[in-house]
């Protein structure tokens, strides 16, 4: 049993990295199809971080970002967050809605724009979870997405608070998506709960 | 030379004027400022959860409303403050995401605010000002010299409480 994320062994981390790799590979393909552009992804990072460091990954607690959050239910509960700087989000909306690049601005971010981003969150999460499901034989049921536009710390703290009662650290599986080699499109986070982590690990055959 | 001391998530720091305390990106979390007007010093805690009672991991006392307030009072008294002079200002406790018919977990901001106020009242600390609730994040800068608490937001103005 893993009680604390810091108990994870190297093999277990590698196994998680591998499913993260497959999940985000599928999500990157889905994103590329949606925006009809070449999308590159980073090698997934699997790390155990104290709460305060999570916002550092996003460029600081008061960075202006957009976050799409999904709660994952089923045999292994988790949280999914897709976070991106607001400028990048606006560019993505332009691509999704077939507008001229630069047309959407955060001041005029309406229902249509929000809906497009939430749908994007839906598709990315579903493809990611699908791949994980095939690999682990576990069922993952994502909730409807919720969208927030605000400071990175504010977006993430209610989600971290769910882990706060049991730990001071979270396991972060992070992938960065890039477009055209230079733009960082966004960070995709999967935050499994400790109990779910045990289920995922034993499904992968690396439980302790 | 005045310093601005950073307070992270689930963290607590002490400062004496002219130094200031800052904590960035409060969503459902709450920034609790408690200061002594006479000593011109104070503490800022960035709490995440209302209560340590049911929690399994309680080593970090700055994470919970109840234990963080105890810790602040202890720290202030060890710095020579008198409990009678202590005043409080709080900010945060927003609800960032809205789900239709969703459980308690997302109402954590509201529960945090209630718990902070209850615990301050229990310890007879007067709450001079509060800026809680809403659906937006806050960055706060606290000046223990004047007691001013500057609240910054994105798209919801800036104010001193």
CATH no. for residue B47? Answer: 3.30.1330.200
The structural domains of chain A, ordered by start, are 5-203 (3.40.1550.10)
Query: Residue A103's pLDDT band (boundaries 50, 70, 90)?
Result: confident
Query: Residue B128's pLDDT band (boundaries 50, 70, 90)?
Result: very high
In this predicted model, which residue has the larger pLDDT, A43 or B99? Answer: A43
Burial class (CB in 10 A: 0-12, 13-18, 19+), A107: exposed
Checking A106-109 for CB contacts under 8 A at 24+ apart, the result is A106/A64, A106/A149, A109/A149
Query: Residue A208's pLDDT band (boundaries 50, 70, 90)?
Result: low
Q: How many residues does chain B have?
A: 161
> DSSP secondary structure string, A101-153?
TT---GGG--HHHHHHHHHHHHHHHHHHHHHHHHHH---EEE---EEEEEEHH
Mean pLDDT of B109-135: 92
Share of chain B above pLDDT 90, in %: 67
Q: Kind and range of the H or E element at B60?
A: none
Least confident of A123-132, A148-157, A172-181, B81-90: A172-181
Q: Are A138 and A76 in contact (CB under 8 A)?
A: yes
- State the Cα–Cα distance between residues B130 and B127, nearest whole angstrom: 7
Least confident of A47-51, A114-118, B40-44, B75-79: A47-51
- State the Cα–Cα distance between residues B9 and A50, nearest whole angstrom: 9
Burial class (CB in 10 A: 0-12, 13-18, 19+), A86: middle
pLDDT of A4 above 70: no
CA distances from B144 to A111, B16, B87 (A): 42, 6, 10
pLDDT of residue B151: 95
- State the Cα–Cα distance between residues A67 and B141, nearest whole angstrom: 25
Average per-residue pLDDT for chain B? 89
How many CB pairs (< 8 A) connect A and B?
113
Measure B66 CA to nearest chain A CA, in Å: 13
Residue whose C-alpha is closest to residue B88's, from B55, B54, B58, B116: B116
List the beta bridge partners of residue A147: A68
Residue from the list A55, A147, A166 with its beta carbon closest to the beta carbon of B25: A55
- Crossing angle for the helix pair A152-164 and B108-122, nearest 10 degrees? 70
Which residues constitute the domain of residue B119? 4-160
pLDDT of residue B90: 95
Least confident of A111-120, A171-180, B5-14, B47-56: A171-180
Known catalytic membership, residue B29:
yes
Query: Residue A174's pLDDT band (boundaries 50, 70, 90)?
Result: confident
Q: Which residues of B43-69 are buried (b: 16+ CB within 10 A; e: fewer)?
A: bbbbbbbbbbeebebeebbbbbbbbbb
Please give the tally of structural domains in chain B: 1
Average per-residue pLDDT for chain A? 83
Measure A84 CA to nearest chain B CA, in Å: 16
Least confident of A25-39, B122-136, B146-160: A25-39
Using a CB–CB cut-off of 8 Å, the residues of A that contact B are 51-52, 55, 60-62, 64, 69, 143-144, 146-158, 160-162, 164-168
Q: Do B139 and A51 touch (CB under 8 A)?
A: no
- State the Cα–Cα distance between residues A24 and A11, nearest whole angstrom: 20
pLDDT of A167 above 70: yes
Q: Are B31 and B69 in contact (CB under 8 A)?
A: no
Residue from the list A150, A153, A168 with its beta carbon closest to the beta carbon of B136: A150
- Crossing angle for the helix pair A111-136 and A10-35, nearest 10 degrees? 140
In this predicted model, which residue has the larger pLDDT, A92 or B105? Answer: A92
pLDDT of A101 above 70: yes
- State the Cα–Cα distance between residues B111 and B118, nearest whole angstrom: 11
């Amino acid at each position: 049993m893993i009680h604390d994320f810091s108990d994870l062994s190297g093999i277990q981390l590698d196994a998680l990295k591998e499913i993260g790799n497959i999940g985000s590979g599928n999500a990157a393909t889905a994103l590329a199809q949606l925006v009809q552009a070449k999308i590159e992804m980073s090698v997934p990072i699997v790390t155990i971080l104290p709460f305060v460091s999570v916002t550092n990954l996003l460029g600081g607690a008061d960075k202006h970002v957009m976050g799409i959050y999904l709660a994952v239910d089923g045999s292994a509960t988790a949280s999914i967050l897709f976070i991106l700087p607001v400028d990048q989000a606006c560019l993505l909306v332009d691509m999704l809605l077939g507008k001229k690049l630069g047309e959407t601005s955060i001041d005029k971010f309406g229902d249509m724009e929000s809906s497009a981003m939430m749908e994007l969150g839906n598709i990315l999460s579903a493809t990611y979870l699908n791949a994980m499901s095939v690999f682990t034989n576990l069922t993952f049921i994502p909730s409807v997405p919720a969208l927030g536009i605000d400071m990175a710390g504010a977006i993430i703290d209610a989600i971290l608070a769910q882990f706060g009662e049991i730990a001071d650290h979270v396991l972060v599986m992070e992938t960065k998506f890039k477009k055209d080699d230079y733009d960082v499109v966004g960070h995709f986070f999967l935050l499994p709960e400790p109990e779910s982590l045990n289920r995922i690990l034993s499904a992968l055959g690396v439980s302790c | 030379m005045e310093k601005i001391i950073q307070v992270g998530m689930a963290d607590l720091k002490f400062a004496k004027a002219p130094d200031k305390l800052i904590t960035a990106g409060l969503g459902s979390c709450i920034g609790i400022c408690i200061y002594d007007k006479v000593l011109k010093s104070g503490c800022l805690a960035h709490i995440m959860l209302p209560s340590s009672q049911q929690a399994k991991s309680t080593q970090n006392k700055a994470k919970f409303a109840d234990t963080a307030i105890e810790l602040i009072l202890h720290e202030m008294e060890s710095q020579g403050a008198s409990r009678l002079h202590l005043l409080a200002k709080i900010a945060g406790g927003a609800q960032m995401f809205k789900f239709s018919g969703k459980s308690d977990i997302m109402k954590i901001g509201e529960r945090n605010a209630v718990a902070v106020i209850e615990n301050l009242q229990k310890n007879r600390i007067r709450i001079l000002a509060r800026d809680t609730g809403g659906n937006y994040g806050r960055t706060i800068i606290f000046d223990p010299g004047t007691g001013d608490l500057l609240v910054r937001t994105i798209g919801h103005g800036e104010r001193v409480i």
